[in-house]
Amino acid sequence: MHIDILTLFPEMFQGVFNQSILKRAADKGAFSYQTVNFRDYTTNKHQKVDDYPYGGGAGLVLTPQPIFDAIDDIRTPQNNKPRVVLMCPQGETFTQKKAEELAKEEHLIFICGHYEGYDERIRQELITDEISIGDYVLTGGELGAMVVTDSVVRLLPGVLGNEQSAPEDSFSSGLLEHPHYTRPAEFRGHQVPEILMSGNHAKIEEWRHYESLKRTFLRRPDLLEQRELTKQEKAWIDEWQNS
């Protein structure tokens, strides 16, 4: 996978992309990326990429020319139809399902805005996806693009050390993840559940499923509305509701 990020602040990405799993993924060749300062593409003699909105109003709006030209330059004959993602508070809320969808692509382009918004023609002509990372407003799209990139890249083959890690993540199965424990078996009077040290893998999996469902029931019951519950899951939920 290759990722291009259009931003006025490319230096913001250096710390995030040069650390931890993202750095290892790039070093291993699982993905490549470049940050593109679309100010470099403006034909405005003052290097401006924004202007006042037609019809009046507060703030400045990103002009279409630099972003159109940047994307024209990024597109290649081999892949002239990349997914172009606009980071925008008006977009669909980002989910694990969306991350899994984007992880199947060969080429992603993220556009990070600033100021009051984008010229609507950018949205109409260039964009395949609009994504928001939550119902709040940031000063720009860079942090959102970092979040989405991290979420997508970790799903690429070979990125995580344990290939089972991603499928077992919260939301991947439709449930929140079960509790985890490690050594020591006793810490400040708190014990690791005996079942996890029993060696009975079938019972351990049942315990993990039970705890995962219970955590979802208590913390995110809305997720269960989309789930086709098994007979056993219904029995567990009845138990918690009546307790």
As annotated, the active-site residues are 89, 116, 154, 169
Residue 138 marked as a ligand binder: yes
108 in Cβ contact with 96 (< 8 Å): no
Residue 136 marked as a ligand binder: yes
48 in Cβ contact with 41 (< 8 Å): no
Residue 109 marked as a ligand binder: no
Residue 174 marked as a ligand binder: no
Number of neighbours of residue 128 by Cβ within 10 angstroms: 13
Token pair of 111 as six digits: 């556009």
Residue 133 marked as a ligand binder: yes
| Order of strands across the sheet that contains 129-132 | 32-37, 2-7, 107-112, 83-93, 129-132
Per DSSP, the three-state class of 152 is helix
| Sign of the dihedral defined by the CA atoms of residues 110, 115, 116, 122, in that order | negative
Alpha-carbon distances, residue 195 vs 141, 170, 175, 189, 202 (angstroms):
45, 22, 21, 18, 10
21 in Cβ contact with 154 (< 8 Å): yes
Q: Cβ neighbours of residue 207 under 8 Å, at least 6 residues apart?
A: 178, 193, 195, 196
113 in Cβ contact with 62 (< 8 Å): yes
> What residues form the annotated binding site?
113, 133-138
> What residues form the annotated binding site for S-adenosyl-L-methionine?
113, 133-138
